[in-house]
């Protein structure tokens, strides 16, 4: 018995087109769910891809093990899903005041917000250390007044989780991160079901 190759050829062509268009992601553990920003550009929300089943996600531990924060041994970082707290505007948004040199290494830290004071946010890491994050603007006020409506009206507040990326020499263990070394900060969230599922704070 012979089978026509035409259906398989059509399927292969369709799959190739979808992959090239970025609608199908193979072998990736995460994808980016795009949402609007104040300027009408696109902000990113990291979410699981369709290549991982719901059962696999439910069976997966919520938190990774110790030492999962780059450059900060003994700390725990989840990192995603998240929305950008600052800088914002697009996938390539960056801190214009960032200044690094050959001695600097990229580091991550994550923790719950302990206090918000204008351009400063203090977070408490999984080990109990307090990190002071310095921003060039009042990042919380900016998010809450101009961007919150795009994310189910969530408001950044005390006890929310932040994932912070910054630079410093690998041997240094600063607890005060200056504006010039801050790459960015993300608010950890939970995303519900649906194409742009309901966004909730982590």
pLDDT over threshold 60, residue 108: yes
* Range 164-187 average pLDDT: 97
**Sequence-distant contacts of 173-180: CB under 8 A, at least 24 apart:** 175/129, 175/130, 175/131, 175/132, 176/131, 176/132, 176/134, 177/131, 177/132, 177/133, 177/134, 178/134, 179/95, 179/97, 179/134, 179/135, 179/136, 180/97, 180/98, 180/99
- 84 pLDDT tier (thresholds 50, 70, 90): very high
DSSP conformation class of 120:
E
Cβ-in-10-Å burial (0-12, 13-18, 19+) of 100 comes to middle
Helix (H, G, I), strand (E, B) or coil at 89: coil
pLDDT over threshold 80, residue 5: no
Taking the C-alpha atoms of residue 175 and residue 161, their distance in angstroms, rounded to an integer, is: 17
Average pLDDT along the chain:
75
Taking the C-alpha atoms of residue 84 and residue 135, their distance in angstroms, rounded to an integer, is: 13
pLDDT over threshold 50, residue 170: yes
- 201 pLDDT tier (thresholds 50, 70, 90): confident
Taking the C-alpha atoms of residue 175 and residue 57, their distance in angstroms, rounded to an integer, is: 34
Helix (H, G, I), strand (E, B) or coil at 15: helix
Give pLDDT, residue 18.
42
| Cα separation of the two ends of the chain | 56
Taking the C-alpha atoms of residue 81 and residue 98, their distance in angstroms, rounded to an integer, is: 24
Helix/strand/coil (H/E/C) assignment for every residue in 74-87: CCCCCCCCEEEEEC
Q: What is the pLDDT of residues 7-41, one digit of tens each?
A: 444 444 444 444 444 433 333 223 333 344 434 44
Identify the top-confidence range among 13-17, 90-94, 129-133.
Answer: 129-133
pTM: 0.67
Give pLDDT, residue 79.
85
**% residues pLDDT > 90 (the chain):** 52
- Determine which helix (DSSP H) or strand (DSSP E) holds 9, and give its type and residue range: helix 6-20
Q: Which residue has the higher pLDDT, 201 or 113?
A: 113
* Range 188-201 average pLDDT: 70
């Amino acid at each position: 018995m012979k089978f026509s190759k035409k259906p398989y050829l059509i399927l292969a062509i369709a799959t190739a087109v979808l992959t090239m268009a970025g609608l199908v992601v193979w072998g990736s553990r995460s994808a980016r769910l795009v949402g609007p920003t104040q300027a009408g550009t696109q902000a990113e929300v990291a979410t699981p891809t369709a290549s991982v089943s719901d059962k696999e996600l439910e069976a997966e531990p919520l938190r990774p093990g110790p030492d999962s924060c780059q450059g900060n041994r003994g700390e725990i970082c989840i990192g995603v899903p998240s929305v950008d707290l600052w800088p914002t505007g697009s996938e390539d948004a960056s801190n214009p005041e960032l200044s690094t040199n050959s001695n600097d290494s990229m580091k991550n830290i994550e923790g719950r917000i302990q206090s918000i004071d204008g351009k400063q946010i203090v977070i408490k890491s999984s080990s109990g250390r307090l990190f002071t994050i310095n921003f060039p603007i009042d990042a919380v006020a900016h998010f809450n007044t101009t961007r919150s409506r795009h994310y189910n009206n969530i408001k950044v507040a005390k006890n929310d989780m932040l994932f912070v990326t910054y630079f410093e020499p690998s041997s240094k263990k600063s607890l005060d991160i200056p504006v010039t070394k801050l790459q960015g900060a993300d608010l950890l969230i939970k995303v519900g079901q649906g194409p742009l599922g309901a966004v909730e704070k982590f």
